[in-house]
Structure 1
Amino acid sequence: SLIKALLGYDPGVVNGRGGVLGHVTSYYGCVEAQGRGTLHCHMLIWVEGSLNPNELKAKVLANDQSSREFQQRLINFLDATIINHIQPIPSTSSPQSTPDFHPSSVRSHLHSNSQSGNDISTRRDLDMHFLSKSCQSHRHTKTCYKYCKPGEPLQCRFDMDPSNTEPTSRFDVETGELHLRCLDGMVNNYNPTMLEALRCNMDIKFIGSGASAKAILYYVTDYITKSPLKTHVAYAALASAVKYVEATLDAPDNLCYKGKRLLQHCAYSLINEQEVSAQQVMACLLDNGDHYTSHKFGNLYWTSFEKYIQRIEHQQIQDTSLAEAHPESDSSEDERVDDIEDHEEEDDGEVTLTLERNTGNLIPVSDQVADYLHRGPGLEEVCLWDSIRQLEKVRLRKAKLQADESDSDDDDQPVSCAEMDEGPNEDEPVSKFALLDRSFRRPTFNFSRQHQQVHTHVLKVRHPDRKLIPVPIEPAIP
């Protein structure tokens, strides 16, 4: 309901009306649990027509008539979208005290038994007053000052202070930085429509500068990757597991078995120490998921390609040095290429494993480097980024034979998906128009003969509406 009703995002609807934030083009939300177990969601939302921070800054600093009109339109939109003060009690309502229940525990005050007539607007304003006061008003606690050192002045780590106010929204003409209006320094930013519908605490922020984007991304990535288990608790659990294994296993000659048991008990000890709230359990049982996205993503294991390129460069340097040292050498280019191919097995990049049906053994079948290098002549002009984005490796299926041909020897021969319900296999180089083709029957392409799965798999072009967003996987940031 949040995505369709409030954000107005529905990929199946063309030229929709949009939502409370305008026309949303994409979103990404990650569900997390607080220390108390309550669930909340960090969500990034992209709005159609928005400018990146550099474009926004350049447009603001232009300082001409068009720039001033743009600044005023943007300020009007943000002032209407983001509120940071307690909604006042409507003057037309009768004096009444704060209700004895939390506003979030009821659907709204519009369904009350009030006999005041058709004053729906007044009751909505009154409901918004109690909601914003109960859900958005900040109260300082000990956690606000947990990073303050002894002797230093107390400062809220959330930067909430009654003095943090800004009477009007404005742009800094020298830096292009936007200062949003803030009428109450103790109230979190919120959108009235979302607050009225969701009836819970929220925080909304406009990302209009590079510094804001970096700060938000750092906060989200740092927050969602933190371990739910304290370091000292984890080490204590591991120590108890080691002591248990040493006390119960008297088999020093069987080190392999003892090592397996040690790993099992260490894993069990860590799992037992983790606290899971009832909300997390119910979300898992209801299969609600831990993230919400408008698009699908595909991993690009860049490290494997980088190592492959480095091997080629190193081999070329060696060949050049060898040719200069021995000009009479007649080693062919094919031999050098074969030598490079032989070293591919040394790559420690992402390798796909499959389970052999007959023996049950795990065997390596392919990796992304091999899939791209041996993609076949029909896909030679497709770059690596587009191959991850729009090409899908699918397994060949057996043809559905007629009843009178059920005993035919051809039953064991794999037939491409293209021969059943897809477009025909292509041997000609694919063009950009083929990647943008929106027909239901998708073309497929065979791998070159050097590929390990040439007889069992093909590459299928995804529909333009189902393209993936490549995510480069690189070494971790120190």
Structure 2
Amino acid sequence: MKSFIKCLLRFEGKGTDLHEGILGTVSAYYGCVEAQGRGTLHCHMLIWLEGGLNPNEIKDRILQNEEQSFKECLLQYLEDTISTCIPELPEEDISIPNQTCHPCSTRGVNFQNTTEEDGLETMRKKDIHLLAKKCQTHRHLKTCWKYWRGPPEPKECQFDLDKKNIHLISLTDPITGEITLKCLDGLVNHFNASILEAMRCNMDIKFIGSGPAAKTILYYITDYITKSQLKTHVALAAMETAIHKLEIYDPNDDDCTLRAKKMLQKCAHSMISHQELLAQQVCSYLMDFEDHFTSHEYRGLYWTNFESFVEECNPSPECNQSSIIDDDTVPKISHSHSGDTEGALDEPNEEFEHRPVEGTLDDDGVYVEQLQNDEIRIGSDNFGNLVPKATQVMDYLHRDDKFSNICI
């Protein structure tokens, strides 16, 4: 991955001179390493290009009639960068090292010992053809229909790869601004020919542009980076094991609180000991290989704190359906402010002041619910100096005007 970043992206570090790489001039990147169920290590990476526009700016310029040249240049760049079909096999019959074995098992064409007179360009085209055919062509397996509920629901591949996904030309939607790339083979994962030739492994590349497709990609990325490393079935199996161990009643342990604490402790230990780690992951940790690659330093954002604050200010109907009960026994809340909603909200209510709230820890391990909005805590910096600290939510809400453009 370091070679990929240095040689192909040509990013040599923050603060250094920028160089144009395979995709353009890279200004930032963020990549996470993950292991598949079969143990294959792979990396999900976001790449920002120097001068790149955000999805809203791209949409605005695409929808402007006078920006026709911008649309043409953007589509031309995407077609040059992203391949959506298997390149044709050269007509000239020429031999290359990997034509008798899997193309990923060799280093491909030897650039140093091959010249144009020897047919270097033809050999490279044949090499890329074999690589794309072996690595990028999708074959439907049981995993593709994982979320299919059966008839009458249409049977669609969860990876959105189908023979019918054909687009003869690249175009933009005049209403949503969505970009649709030319695609001559609906069963091919999109790839960059230069990256495929150099890395010699399967890949997928997408452009985060505008419209519903961009929103789908952003949702997938957000869902991916926030998902729990502990799978649900592993956690439930660990808890079941811990509960079975505590089923044998010990008369000496008559304290219910003590037994409850022991159960929680055993559950936690079981979850840790029952983690699924593949051999490739273990080797990667033992060899001290990176599990992520970043161009910048980032501070942790404790999203649950913000989520709890938003939920408190504007409760979600979907998440609180169970609390909506049409029962005369439930006390009704009435306001005597003649429609003055703000006054009603400002007035304290004993019923809600002592309402138990789901505990949310902040970055210092303190429950957010225990802190008042105006409470300041004392912490220490890297040099041991005492500094005032507040929760990230309060820091964000009361940020200075110069940070008003920063939006969570």
TM over 0.5: yes
Partner in structure 2 of residue 84 of structure 1? 84
- Give the Å deviation of 1:80: 0.7
Distance 1:4 1:246 in 2: 57
Amino acid in structure 2 at the alignment position of 1:121:
E
Ranges in structure 1 where 5+ consecutive residues have no aligned partner: 319-346, 355-366, 376-391, 397-415, 417-445, 453-469, 473-478
Give 3-state SS (helix, strand or coil) of 2:236's partner. Answer: helix
Distance 1:100 1:57 in 2: 47
- The correspondence for 1:31, drawn from 30, 33, 48, is 33
Give the number of the structure whose alpha-carbon radius of gyration is greater.
Answer: 1
- Give the Å deviation of 1:252: 1.9
Amino acid in structure 2 at the alignment position of 1:240:
T
- Quick one: structure 1 residues 144 and 6, their matched pair in 2 at CA, closer, same or farther if it must change by over 3 Å? same
TM-score w.r.t. structure 2 length? Answer: 0.71
Asked if the contact 1:297/1:471 (under 8 Å) is kept, the reply is no
Amino acid in structure 1 at the alignment position of 2:8:
L
Amino acid in structure 1 at the alignment position of 2:362:
E
- Give the Å deviation of 1:155: 1.9
What are the superposed Cα offsets for residues 288-345 of structure 1, whole Å, 9 maximum, x if unpaired? 23222222222466959979xx9xx99xx68xxxxxxxxxxxxxxxxxxxxxxxxxxx
What are the superposed Cα offsets for residues 3-55 of structure 1, whole Å, 9 maximum, x if unpaired? 12111222356443221111111111122221112122211111111122222
- Quick one: structure 1 residues 245 and 96, their matched pair in 2 at CA, closer, same or farther if it must change by over 3 Å? same
Distance 1:47 1:114 in 2: 34
Partner in structure 2 of residue 370 of structure 1? 376
Alpha carbon RMSD of aligned pairs, Å? Answer: 4.2
- The correspondence for 1:45, drawn from 25, 47, 53, is 47
Q: Which of structures 1 and 2 has the larger relative contact order (alpha carbons within 8 angstroms, sep 6+)?
A: 2
Give 3-state SS (helix, strand or coil) of 1:28's partner. Answer: strand
What are the superposed Cα offsets for residues 363-393 of structure 1, whole Å, 9 maximum, x if unpaired? xxxx99637xx99xxxxxxxxxxxxxxxx93
Asked if the contact 2:178/2:211 (under 8 Å) is kept, the reply is no
Distance 2:185 2:270 in 1: 47
Amino acid in structure 2 at the alignment position of 1:126:
K
- Quick one: structure 1 residues 273 and 299, their matched pair in 2 at CA, closer, same or farther if it must change by over 3 Å? closer
More off after superposition, 273-282 vs 97-106: 97-106
Amino acid in structure 2 at the alignment position of 1:134:
K
Partner in structure 2 of residue 388 of structure 1? none
Q: Provide the identity percentage.
A: 44
- Quick one: structure 1 residues 253 and 28, their matched pair in 2 at CA, closer, same or farther if it must change by over 3 Å? same
Within a 5 Å distance, the mapping from 1:63-462 to structure 2 comes to: 63-64=65-66, 67-94=67-94, 99-110=99-110, 118-152=118-152, 153-227=154-228, 231-232=232-233, 234-247=235-248, 249-255=250-256, 257-299=258-300, 303=305, 350=362, 352=364, 370=376, 393-396=381-384
Partner in structure 2 of residue 18 of structure 1? 20
**How many matched pairs?**
348
Higher strand share: 1
Asked if the contact 1:93/1:122 (under 8 Å) is kept, the reply is no
Give 3-state SS (helix, strand or coil) of 2:62's partner. Answer: helix
Give 3-state SS (helix, strand or coil) of 2:47's partner. Answer: strand
Give 3-state SS (helix, strand or coil) of 1:58's partner. Answer: helix
- Quick one: structure 1 residues 299 and 235, their matched pair in 2 at CA, closer, same or farther if it must change by over 3 Å? closer
Asked if the contact 2:55/2:209 (under 8 Å) is kept, the reply is yes
Asked if the contact 2:136/2:202 (under 8 Å) is kept, the reply is yes
Distance 1:351 1:80 in 2: 45
Asked if the contact 1:228/1:274 (under 8 Å) is kept, the reply is no
Distance 2:38 2:374 in 1: 42
Asked if the contact 1:189/1:205 (under 8 Å) is kept, the reply is yes
Ranges in structure 2 where 5+ consecutive residues have no aligned partner: 314-341, 348-358, 367-372, 390-405
Distance 2:163 2:97 in 1: 24
- Quick one: structure 1 residues 131 and 273, their matched pair in 2 at CA, closer, same or farther if it must change by over 3 Å? same
- Quick one: structure 1 residues 251 and 197, their matched pair in 2 at CA, closer, same or farther if it must change by over 3 Å? farther
